[in-house]
Chains A and B, each alone.
Chain A
Amino acid sequence: AQTVTQSQPEMSVQEAETVTLSCTYDTSENNYYLFWYKQPPSRQMILVIRQEAYKQQNATENRFSVNFQKAAKSFSLKISDSQLGDTAMYFCAFKTSGSRLTFGEGTQLTVNP
């Protein structure tokens, strides 16, 4: 069974600074997909970024980028130029083709003015 671990229950960052959220996973699969979802206080689940395991290049979406280390089974999220609206719970998630999405425990990020 796949597991996803987020070891940082809470993090904080000053506005305009950069923060990195950690995620590790365990799987015996070779082809899979990794995601970061954002859950603001409204509790909606918003896709932030996705990474296909077969791609060596790290995914980027504007201020959001990942550091995907396949051998280490690590998938961290970097948020640059943090904004107050980035305050949310961030979930790392893992999926193989056709299977369920497995979530980590989440990291509560607070961006301070």
Chain B
Amino acid sequence: EPEVTQTPSHQVTQMGQEVILRCVPISNHLYFYWYRQILGQKVEFLVSFYNNEISEKSEIFDDQFSVERPDGSNFTLKIRSTKLEDSAMYFCASTPGTSSNTIYFGEGSWLTVV
């Protein structure tokens, strides 16, 4: 069964460093998402991406965050200057389109900022 894959599974980074989290969505999917989950809290929406542009973003997704689809398969989340409070599990997700509203999640990338 096709699945969303994410790398790395776990990354430790120094505060102030840039981090890139990578995702390969399911191949025929058109909508891509990033969500995050701070330890012990609920899953929060960051951004959605469709047709090579951001379609929606939350208040969390400020100027230090950016997303990109550099080629036909990868979807990346960049955090420019990490802060301690960016420590969280970051989930990539995808869905085929508006006719199917089921969102499929990757296994997550656990980011620890020290």
Contact = CB atoms under 8 A, between A and B. Distances in A.
B45 A100 contact: yes
B23 to A, nearest CB: 13
A103 B42 contact: yes
B51 interface: no
Interface stretch (B11-19, B62-70, B74-82, B101-109): B101-109
Interface string A38-54: 00001111110010000
B87 interface: no
Interface of B: 33, 35, 37, 42-45, 48, 55-56, 58, 89, 91, 93, 98, 101-105, 107-108, 110
Contacts of B91: 45
How many of chain A's residues touch chain B, expressed as a range?
Answer: 20 to 34
Contact of A91 (B42, B58, B93, B102): B42
A30 to B, nearest CB: 15
Contacts of B110: 43
25 contacts: A33-B102, A35-B103, A42-B107, A43-B37, A43-B89, A43-B110, A45-B43, A46-B105, A47-B104, A50-B102, A91-B43, A95-B101, A95-B103, A97-B101, A98-B98, A100-B45, A100-B48, A100-B58, A101-B33, A101-B35, A101-B45, A103-B42, A103-B44, A104-B42, A106-B42
